[in-house]
Structure 1
Amino acid sequence: MRVSIRKMLLLLVCALLVSAVSAQAKEKKVRVYKGKPAKYIFLFIGDGMAMPQKSATEAYIGKELVMNTFPAQGMTTTYAADRFITGSAASATAIASGQKTNIGMLGMSPSQKQVKSVAEIARSQGKKVGIVSSVSIDHATPAAFYSHVPTRGQYYDIDVAISESGFDFFGGGGLKDPNNKKKNSSNYKGNALDLIKNAGYKVVTEKDTFNALKPGDGKVIAWNAWLQDGQALPYTMDKSPSDISLPEFTGKAIEMLDNPNGFFLMVEGGKIDWACHANDAAAFIHNTVDFDDSIAKAVEFAKKHPSETLIVVTGDHECGGLTLGFAGTKYSSHYDSLKNQDVSFQKFTDEIIPLWRKENAGKASFEDFEPTITHFFGIEFDGDPKKNPMVVKDYQLKMLKDAYERTMKGETKFKNAGLNNLYGGYDPLTVTITHVLDNNAGLGWTSFKHTGVPVATSAMGVGASSFNGYYDNIDIAYKIMSVMGVTPQIYSFNGKVRVAAN
């Protein structure tokens, strides 16, 4: 009897799977533009940015984000070829080329066939091309537009691809492995930065020199003098006036790329994702504002060329499982509490905690450290938490004390699954502080990783209406291609047949 029931269940599962595949095989119309091509194409990618990040930022700043004012608003699915929850490499490849691929692959199909990005297509049309990112310029998202490697960690090969791209402007973060120290490539051609220079690129790292750049200076690769972590720009809340911001890189790129043949510019807000991985709400909010200010630079340009410009804004995936609401605050939100945080988790981890450990050599108690937490995060340890959301609750105080002990011992990696899920591989005390602050503000985190929720895509300008609706991230590439005057190579994936539609 048990065997027959199992057989029946197996047959039922098989039937459901067949039904699902049949449903997927139905023809899907992809709305594309069929009018006069645009001369100027902007693509902004907020890494890790979905609706929760955008909504929290608007609640914090008290006004609408520029990207949310665009006339065309859509929702976009993000899954990879081999996993429901995507990664930046697979997602960026889909957005850049219209090709679903496996986790970690860049500019390639799952069978490792190279695919052209919209940036490379723009280059072949005689347009100038620019790539800007707040993380290293060879990181997954920017690299998807000019490189073709089976593994995103092949930073040396990606750096070499910059020299071979023929693109006109690279700006933001630096290079992660120009000398192939990680031995991720078997095709060493010499120092990648030397190759980039030999390809005619002017290398700029100082702000004064950067500001003085003019279009006649030719091809440029520029990064900020201070690269905080992973060859990336500092978090917005940590930068000083001497640092070059993402909006400044965007504005300079526009200035350098503007020409009679038009241009394509991709700008990534990469540290939105990094802050969400670390569950730091204040850091991602400030970086989202910085990203939106970069979009405003494109809008300023579009106002001068309204019939020739398309601006598209999207995210590659959500990160952190951010929830706009926390059980402990019920229906209350206190986003103003986040304004008490003065530094990002990264700066606190890299500078404040090491200094404290060095000066106190494990002799200081958590109570001794409380004023430091209050100074940098505004969290208070005296008062009534029911009247003041900045005051820690009893259970939160215990969490902080436990984390403090682990941090003072230098613990960051845990074999215990519970502790690993609690701290996510980050400094225990720092991530516990941001959790307490964010929770009391009315925000919750469910993950230290990406999630599979759809992201928002918005557009303004030529062909913008084709970005309305609900579609997959590969369709973003198709839509941009059509606005560029290129017939999209629309194909079948996972049983879904895609065909062009007005």
Structure 2
Amino acid sequence: MFKRILRPAVLAVCISLLAVSAFAAAPKYVIYFIGDGLGPTQRMAAELFYKMETGNPDAKLVMNTFPGSALVTTYSDNTLVTDSAAGGTALSCGFKTTNGYIAKLPDGSNIKTIAEAAKENGYAVGIVTTTRLTHATPASFSAHNPDRDAENEMAIDQANSGFDFFAGGGYRHFVAKDNKMGLKSKRKDDVDVVKMFTDKGYKTFVGDSTRDAFRAYTPKKGDKVFAALTSSHLPYEVERLHSTMKENKLPSLVELTEKAIASLDAQDKPFFLMVEGGRIDHAAHAHDPMSVIMDTIAMDDAVKAAYEFYKKHPEETLIVTAADHETGGVALGISMDSKGYFLNLKALENVKVSAEDNLDRYYNKLAEKEKDVEKRHAAFIKYVEENWALTDRTPGEDKILMDAMIVQDKNQDLSMEKKVRYGYSYTPTMVAVTDLISQRARIFWTSFVHTGTFIPASAIGKGADQFTGFIDNTDIPTRMAALMNVKLSDSKKTDSKALLGKTFGPQEKYSKIPYNQ
């Protein structure tokens, strides 16, 4: 026997070839969809509504046709019911953390996101959302903070990220307090984060007045884009489709996704794109079935756009769809009598506005304008007939609406702590209307907040077989990173007994609630 010694030069070539081979085996294009609050029932309701509207019993959501499928656990480090910050961190970093933490471990140390790891490895990176860009899920991929509400700080993190594409809402956290654009700001300082982007060479689109310029923009190699088109979140899809107000005619999620894909693809390098359908969660918090369904279908339209790209690059593309948690504890076909076993989604067809952005405050605004109680009640009934299809009411339904208006009339004279409110301080009239339309559709809600149920994930493309079975949310970015040959933060040994005690024993309260404001 004898030993064969490789010369250093030969060894270097071999290592180089192995590296090239590994990179060649990695998916070149990774598109990661996250439906905030998108549980299995929300996904099913959207598909059933889609079948009804198309008149095609075989119609399916595109994401429901993907060959790889999984059920995913979502609990956080400190509770069985995660919030979007801890859920987003698990989906972006592969670690459990405390509710409210953004890309940080419970001890406060930073952990690398899959987007940051991709950028380090030469990928172009994009973030798209229907929420504020500084909201929990997009922030979990592009910022680090122990407080999900520190959106002004996380805006600066995003400006320093070096990512290639941002599109969503929330310019109020990027424009300076006294900005020359005349835009409302939530900043308490004169830091102009938009200028930070501009100084770094980004093409910026800020405010709804830039929507046409954003639509007309043709991406080119070397371009970086920052688009914050609304002060807070983008409009719900149901209002974007029905409203004649110009601010609701903003680009849809599919438009944002198509622009992101075109922009990242123009860079002639691998790319990673995270797309969030963020307002599914907000609609489910408000028990708004039509907005849940329409925003889920809007997200699926974006998935379809990614799928069209995949068909051009089937050997190089990976698409994964997931969710950070379920919201609302929604069930389909619920009946409190023996006449169940059916849904009536047709009851939702003529709903024209969202609950949270329109209905919740509508009666209060009406009360400011119309002081005559009977006229005010009549105007509200007309409103719900025209916008929520609540016609042909039963005496019981009329009583529910009237009782809600009476309670809200009394609320006008009460201090904030004595007002009758529901969920995230939702008004009695909103809850009455959403409950009635849900009952007509045979949809039932068990919670105003998140639940601990499994969420569905699906995948297609290179490495899709890694996203199957019963898995945890932390498995998704971990497996994605392995496929992409990028490195997340090093694993830290977890004290399993401590985790069990925190998560499955007596749980800490997490009292912050402005998740969707």
Shift of 1:142: 0.2
Shift of 1:257: 0.4
1:346 aligns with 2:346: no
Q: Of 196, 218, 224, which residue of structure 1 is paired with 2:223?
A: 218
Shift of 1:214: 2.5
1:160 aligns with 2:156: yes
One-letter identity of the residue aligned with 1:253 = A
Q: Which runs of 5+ in 2 are unaligned?
A: 1-21, 52-58, 178-184, 498-517
Q: Is the 8 A contact 1:38 1:308 kept in 2?
A: yes
- CA distance in 2 between partners of 1:67 and 1:114 (Å): 32
- CA distance in 1 between partners of 2:300 and 2:194 (Å): 31
2:83 is aligned to 87
Q: Is the 8 A contact 2:69 2:459 kept in 1?
A: yes
Secondary structure of the residue aligned to 1:310 is strand
- CA distance in 2 between partners of 1:464 and 1:35 (Å): 17
Q: Which runs of 5+ in 1 are unaligned?
A: 1-32, 382-390, 497-502
Q: Of 164, 173, 177, which residue of structure 1 is paired with 2:173?
A: 177
Deviations 1:191-238 (A, max 9, x none): 2222222222221142221122222271111133x55xxx11011111
Secondary structure of the residue aligned to 2:132 is coil
1:208 aligns with 2:208: no
1:260 aligns with 2:255: no
- CA distance in 2 between partners of 1:160 and 1:34 (Å): 32
- CA distance in 2 between partners of 1:368 and 1:468 (Å): 52
1:425 is aligned to 425
Q: Percent of aligned pairs with the same residue? A: 35
Query: Aligned runs of 1:161-310 on 2, under 5 Å?
Result: 161-178=157-174, 190-205=191-206, 206-216=210-220, 218-224=223-229, 226-227=230-231, 231-239=232-240, 242-258=249-265, 259-310=267-318
Deviations 1:124-171 (A, max 9, x none): 111110000000001010001111111111111101011100001000
TM-score by length of 1: 0.83
1:30 is aligned to none
2:500 is aligned to none
One-letter identity of the residue aligned with 1:318 = E
Secondary structure of the residue aligned to 2:106 is coil
Q: Is the 8 A contact 1:314 1:455 kept in 2?
A: yes
1:449 is aligned to 449
Q: Is the 8 A contact 1:68 1:458 kept in 2?
A: yes
- CA distance in 1 between partners of 2:190 and 2:421 (Å): 40
Secondary structure of the residue aligned to 1:165 is coil
Q: Of 65, 74, 78, which residue of structure 1 is paired with 2:74?
A: 78
- Residues 1:413 and 1:473: Cα distance change in structure 2 (over 3 Å): farther
Shift of 1:51: 0.2
- CA distance in 1 between partners of 2:281 and 2:199 (Å): 33
2:398 is aligned to 397
- CA distance in 2 between partners of 1:268 and 1:413 (Å): 37
Q: Is the 8 A contact 1:237 1:342 kept in 2?
A: yes
2:514 is aligned to none
1:357 is aligned to 367
- CA distance in 1 between partners of 2:408 and 2:351 (Å): 20
- CA distance in 2 between partners of 1:151 and 1:185 (Å): 16
Q: Is the 8 A contact 1:160 1:196 kept in 2?
A: no
Q: Is the 8 A contact 2:132 2:168 kept in 1?
A: yes
Q: Is the 8 A contact 1:162 1:196 kept in 2?
A: no
2:345 is aligned to 335
Q: Is the 8 A contact 1:155 1:178 kept in 2?
A: no
Q: Is the 8 A contact 1:379 1:392 kept in 2?
A: no
Give the count of matched residue pairs.
447
One-letter identity of the residue aligned with 2:202 = Y
Shift of 1:39: 0.5
1:128 is aligned to 124
Deviations 1:411-443 (A, max 9, x none): 5987579x545x651121122101111112110
Q: Is the 8 A contact 2:288 2:354 kept in 1?
A: yes
Q: Is the 8 A contact 1:41 1:309 kept in 2?
A: yes
Shift of 1:34: 11
Q: Of 322, 326, 329, which residue of structure 2 is paired with 1:314?
A: 322
- CA distance in 2 between partners of 1:203 and 1:260 (Å): 21
1:68 aligns with 2:64: yes
Moved more, 85-94 or 352-361: 352-361
Deviations 1:331-385 (A, max 9, x none): 221011011211111343377435532442143253553232211111124xxxx
- Residues 1:494 and 1:86: Cα distance change in structure 2 (over 3 Å): farther
- CA distance in 2 between partners of 1:35 and 1:465 (Å): 18
Deviations 1:239-293 (A, max 9, x none): 1583111110000000000033210000000100001111100011111110110
- CA distance in 2 between partners of 1:320 and 1:362 (Å): 36
- CA distance in 2 between partners of 1:53 and 1:363 (Å): 38
TM-score by length of 2: 0.81
